[in-house]
Structure 1
């Protein structure tokens, strides 16, 4: 079990990111209505106004498990783990929403919570990432889930110098490579994080033989960072992303979709940090298909 923790400004952006997709199921909600996306946004924003000085009022967590644990993870089990995780993270007495996504092979859920609690006090995010790593390890061992090996279990906060940069490269490339549908898109996504991409060509030709990445003066081959980040492996991932997008365009769905147009950073980052206490997010950078949708708790959108 692995957790990723973020904070942001926009409930509207975060909620729409999590729910405006085919592969989303609401597993549990505390202190909010779930009959429509707008009601969810309004309820979160109503409580945040009790503490208007807190700009970063949105808490967003992703909990992921190994594919090997898939058979053990019913919706009820994931809901229980979400509640246990929040309790151990000292995130209590506040509104929260648990959503399961089905767009990856491995089981994972998203938790959106209000950092303004029911008493109008701020839920601290100090040392949250360190606590997250500890809690995930505790729950993994307690419930007998698969313990990931390798880089996923390295404590990033203890790293310094070249090792720290190497793992920053690893995390950034892993995250962006599952989104990019072309090499140029990957290059733009990485550039936003201060990472440059360098190709190695076969002598006297335009044929790419390998790839390197650099940040803060350190340059490493993709395969030196991790074997999964070689040119061949990344090219295969990008081609899969391209084919998936092509297939999606050829088979449009009947639900409301949000598509990034010429984006140079992950969608969640944009939506989490949209400005204001908006009741409806400003999607000036998005293209939307106008179709009617409804939400039911425990049902896929």
Structure 2
């Protein structure tokens, strides 16, 4: 299960979009009349008046499951999971509606809630993203829902607003982290992309307590972008990258050159050739050095010349013999 928390200003636009969509179904609600979108909007706005200074009073959540979880879900179960999620992230004692949509392959629902609770207090949106990740993970593990492949599978083109920027930061930081072995290198990689790092130090010390990333007028905590981008997680990854680099460098230094490898092969073969044959015989090398093996191959040109000279000698001897007989 994954969640997407959103805050907004207008109950009218949000409620009409969620409730009036084709095949939309309100599966649970509290504190509002659900006859139609108009009644829901009116009830939300009535309670909102207790905190007129709160600009973004609209809370909107999208909770989604993998299509592999469809057999484990129905309207009642999805409504209960939405309530459980809200309790985990601190959305309590307020108006809300839970609406299931059926326009996608994967099961999902929308929750609209009032950030002005029933007592006129404001429901905080601080650390919404970090709380969202924690709650979704706990519910997914508790009910054995399908674990997705993470942010790599999210459709970036469909994202908007702050969520789009969050994923852009995630992708850029992850890419820079793969090429860095220390914080200085990481800072340099990110500066090329227009992103700076702001460190939060423990009061009165040089100990880093947290980290944020800034691009333009947007600033987000590392843990709010993704848990893997907290200061501790990044520091661990940088140290791991450094160890891998050092191990690779050590292997390169210790690896013998090609010439050394060839010399070693020749040395081993020479030693093998000089090993005496069992039974007292000569070694292979000694056998190969004997004259019959050292002498070169027959010389056909030289052999023909010798034969020609022998033939002339015989002819001369025969001529002399015939002369004497006469």
Q: Are 1:172 and 2:156 an aligned pair? A: yes
**Residue 124 (structure 1) aligned with residue 116 (structure 2):** no
Corresponding residue number in structure 2 for 1:5:
5
Partner secondary structure for residue 40 of structure 2: helix
| Correspondence list, 1:151-190, <5 A | 151=151, 172-175=156-159
- The secondary structure found in structure 2 opposite 1:141 is helix
Q: How much has 1:55 moved relative to structure 2?
A: 0.6
Secondary structure (helix, strand or coil) at the match of 1:41 reads: helix
Say how many residue pairs are matched: 170
Query: SS where residue 132 of structure 2 aligns?
Result: helix
The answer to whether residue 68 in structure 2 is matched with residue 84 in structure 1 is no
- What are the superposed Cα offsets for residues 116-168 of structure 1, whole Å, 9 maximum, x if unpaired? 00000000010111000000000000011001124259xxxxxxxxxxxxxxx
Which structure is richer in relative contact order (CA contacts within 8 A, separation 6 or more)?
A: 1
Match of 1:134 in 2: 134
Residue number in structure 1 paired with 2:273: none
Query: What secondary structure sits across from 1:45 in the alignment?
Result: helix
Q: Spell out structure 1 runs of 4+ moving beyond 4 A.
A: none
Cα displacement (A) at 1:66: 0.2
Q: TM-score, normalised by structure 1?
A: 0.53
Please list, as runs of the form range in 1=range in 2, the aligned pairs for 1:244-259 lying within 5 A after superposition: none
**1:113 alignment partner, SS class:** strand
Q: Tell me the secondary structure at the aligned position of residue 61 of structure 1.
A: strand
Secondary structure class of the residue paired with 2:63: strand
For 1:137, what is the secondary structure of its paired residue? helix
Q: Post-superposition shift, 1:217?
A: 6.7
Unaligned stretches of 5+ in structure 2? 169-190, 194-326
- Paired with 1:101 and 1:217, the residues of 2 have a C-alpha distance of 42
Give the distance between the partners of 1:152 and 1:58, measured in 2 at CA: 29
Aligned mates of 1:151, 1:8 — CA distance in 2:
24
1:50 maps to 2:50:
yes
Which has more helix, going by share of residues?
A: 2
Distance in 2 between residues matched to 1:8 and 1:31, nearest whole Å: 19
Cα deviation, 1:183-209, whole Å, max 9, x if unaligned, reads: xxxxxxx9xx99xxxxxxxxxxxxxxx
TM-score (norm: length of structure 2): 0.49
What is the CA–CA distance in structure 2 between the aligned matches of 1:217 and 1:8, rounded to whole Å? Answer: 33
CA 1:2/1:152 → structure 2, altered by over 3 Å: closer, same or farther?
farther
Per-residue deviation at 1:172? Answer: 3.4
Which residue is 2:255 aligned to? none
For 1:37 and 1:150, locate their aligned partners in 2 and report how far apart those are by CA, in whole Å.
35
Q: Per-residue displacement from partner, 1:205-226 (whole Å, max 9, x unpaired)?
A: xxxxxxxxxxx975xxxxxxxx
Counterpart secondary structure, 1:112: strand
- Bigger Rg, which one: 2
What's the C-alpha RMSD, in Å, of the aligned pairs? 2.7
- CA deviation digits over 1:94-115, x for unaligned, max 9? 0000000000000000000000
The DSSP-based 3-state class of the residue aligned with 2:21 is coil
Write the distance in 1 (CA, Å) between the matches of 2:155 and 2:115: 26
Partner of 2:103 in structure 1? 103
